[in-house]
Structure 1
Amino acid sequence: MKRNNFLVSMLQMTGLAPRFTPYTLSFTRRRRVMLQESPLAGYQYHRAASIWPFLQVGEQLHLKREPSNPHDPYAIAVWFKNEHLGYIPRRENRTLARLLDQGELLETTIVRLLEEENPWRKIRFRVEWLHQ
């Protein structure tokens, strides 16, 4: 595979490059729609405290739905790499859960880190919907 074809195919898989068809050339652009900013719930119960030194503002986080969670059917876990940090707060997760269940692409980024005793104030993140 030629280098350019490889790069285009890799970018297409992430939704960042134009999609080519044999007869037409069309560009797919995604709009970013900011859905919410939230504190991290459950900081003290998961791995957030142990990986605190590795977190930085601007870092990408990953969301994973947990529809079989016994405490909340709309639960969404927040992960940094392979470490479970906590959850999206229960009072703020229904819309995001529905979007994730529909296969929508959501991007989550750390927007604030504070050295606080209150675990609800330590990590704040933003969730954006990458919408076509």
Structure 2
Amino acid sequence: MCAPGQTPSVQILVQSSPLAGYRHGEAAAVWPLLRFGDPLELVREAQNPNDANAVRVDWRGRKLGYVPRRENAALAWGMDRGTPLRARVSRLVEHRNRARRIEFEVYLE
């Protein structure tokens, strides 16, 4: 329910993914500061020499990691065509395996 005068917002979930490349970004350094629901920025890296479909995941201007390679093709395609994708932290877990610590959702608004 919206307050009077507010326009309701519809969010369509596109995908939910674990963060890839945890050890290559600043995720470990900012881990204590991350919160459920924090907005994330998706940055297209079309010139990435390791993956032409690379989509970087940033938090407050700091590189956390990437959308997993096996899940990035549709996002890259959409971003290349101007689709307004948004992302947010959807799960934070103290896990021994760093690849399972951060999950995020990508959605259309």
Q: Same fold (TM over 0.5)?
A: yes
Report the 3-state secondary structure (helix = DSSP H, G, I; strand = E; otherwise coil) of the residue aligned with 1:53.
helix
- Rg (Cα) greater in structure: 1
Q: Residue 72 of structure 1 corresponds to which residue in structure 2? A: 51
> Sequence identity, in percent?
41
> Counting helix residues as a fraction of each chain, which structure ranks higher?
1
Pairwise CA RMSD of aligned residues?
Answer: 1.6
1:105 and 2:84 correspond = yes
**Deviation at residue 83 of structure 1 after TM alignment:** 0.4
Q: Where do 5+ consecutive residues of structure 1 fail to align?
A: 1-15, 18-28
Amino acid at match of 2:18: P
Q: Residue 3 of structure 2 corresponds to which residue in structure 1? A: none
Q: Residue 126 of structure 1 corresponds to which residue in structure 2? A: 105
Structure of greater relative contact order (alpha carbons < 8 Å, 6+ residues apart)? 2
**Deviation at residue 98 of structure 1 after TM alignment:** 0.8
Cα distance per residue 1:6-54 (max 9 Å; x no partner): xxxxxxxxxx97xxxxxxxxxxx86422111000000011100001111
| Whole-Å separation in 2 of the counterparts to 1:47 and 1:126 | 19
Q: Give the paired residue count.
A: 104
| Whole-Å separation in 1 of the counterparts to 2:75 and 2:11 | 15
1:48 and 2:19 correspond = no
Q: TM-score, normalised on structure 2? A: 0.89
